[in-house]
Amino acid sequence: MRSIVTAMPLEAILTVAAALFCIGLFGALSRRNIIGILMGVELMLNAVNINLIAFWRYLEPTNTSGLIFAIIAITVAAAEAAVGLAMVIAVYRTRLTINADEVDTLRG
């Protein structure tokens, strides 16, 4: 049975994941909007997950550790998104802005 393992070298997948990670990094660093920053972080987490699954598939397809790591990463990403967006809404309520460079006072 042919599969991706016979069709593609592992480096191709790693390249795609690295490119996605860097795009996410650029988004996280350059966006003013906090939600835009969160989007960049989500892209980075997804790139990491692609790497995890690719390594699992190419190196240890019979073992479950790669899959479990990916699932736990998804769980953490979900928790991060929920809390992060709740904080965005709380910030918006007190400051009426969600641009990261305008939220610069420590006073609530």
Partner 1 sequence: MDFIIGLIFWGLSALILFSGLMVVIVKNIIHAALWLIASFAGIAAFYFLLEAPYIGVVQILVYTGAISILMLFAIMLTRQVTGEGTQQLFKRWWVAALVAFGLFAVVIVPTIWFPRLPVAERGQPTYWPQSDRAAASATPAAAPAAQQEPQPEAETPQIAGAFEIGRSFMAEYLLPFEVSSLLLLVALIGAVVIAYEERTRRRRILTLAEEAELRRSVAGLGMERPLQASAQLPPGKSEAGTAERR
Q: Which of residues 21-40 bind partner 1 (CB under 8 A)?
A: 21-27, 29-33, 35-36, 38-40
Nearest Cα neighbor of 37 from 45, 25, 46, 50 is: 25
Sketch the per residue contact string, 50 through 79, with partner 1: x for CB under 8 A, - otherwise: x--xx-xxxxxxxxxx-xx-xxx-xxxxxx
Q: How far is the CB of 48 from partner 1 (least distance, A)?
A: 11
- What secondary structure does DSSP assign to 41-68, as a single string? HHHHHHHHHHHHHHHHHHH-TT-SHHHH
108 binds partner 1 (CB under 8 A): no
106 binds partner 1 (CB under 8 A): no
96 binds partner 1 (CB under 8 A): yes
Measured in degrees and rounded to the nearest 5, phi and psi for residue 77 equal: -65, -40
